[in-house]
Amino acid sequence: MAFKVMIEDNNHLGFNDDENHPYSAGVFTAEAEAITICEAIVNDFLTKSLYPGERAKELVKQYYTYGEDPYIDGTEGDKVKQGFSGWGFAEERSVILCTKDNPNNLRRVEVTKTP
C-alpha cells in the first residue's frame, strides 16, 4: 500500500491556473505516517504564524487564507481509511496553541493610563 501526501495552497483553492498545484510531499507506506506528515505541515504554519495574545479564530483564519492544505491520496487503488482534514486539524490545533497555558502565547494585558 502507498499513500501520497498532496498539498494545495489555501490561497490557490478554486483556481486551476497553476499547473504546480497541488504538489506532492511524498509517498508513504503507512497511512499513519502520511497523517503525521500532514499534521506537521499544518502545525508548522500555525506555530510560525502565531503571535503573543492571538486568539484561535484569528490564527485559523490566517491558515484558511495562506496555509498549505495537505491531504492524502491512495495510490494504485489503495483506499484511504482515516484520511486527513487540514482545516479540521488547524481548527483543533489553533485552540491548543492559543490557550493561556501555552508559554508561546502569553495573553496581552491591557494597560490603561490613570489621569
Q: Concatenate the DSSP letters of all residues of the chain into one string.
A: --EEEEEEEGGGTT----TT-SEEEEEESSHHHHHHHHHHHHHHHHHHH--TT--HHHHHHHHHHHSEEEEEEESTTPPPSS---HHHHHHHHHHHHTSTT-TT-PPP-------
Which pLDDT score, from 0 to 100, does residue 9 have?
85
Strands 3-9 and 68-74: what pairing? antiparallel
Determine if the pTM surpasses 0.85: no
Which pLDDT score, from 0 to 100, does residue 63 have?
94
Which pLDDT score, from 0 to 100, does residue 1 have?
74
The whole-number mean pLDDT for each consecutive block of 10 residues of the chain, a chain of 115 residues, reads 86 60 86 91 93 89 93 72 86 88 52 47
Which pLDDT score, from 0 to 100, does residue 109 have?
39
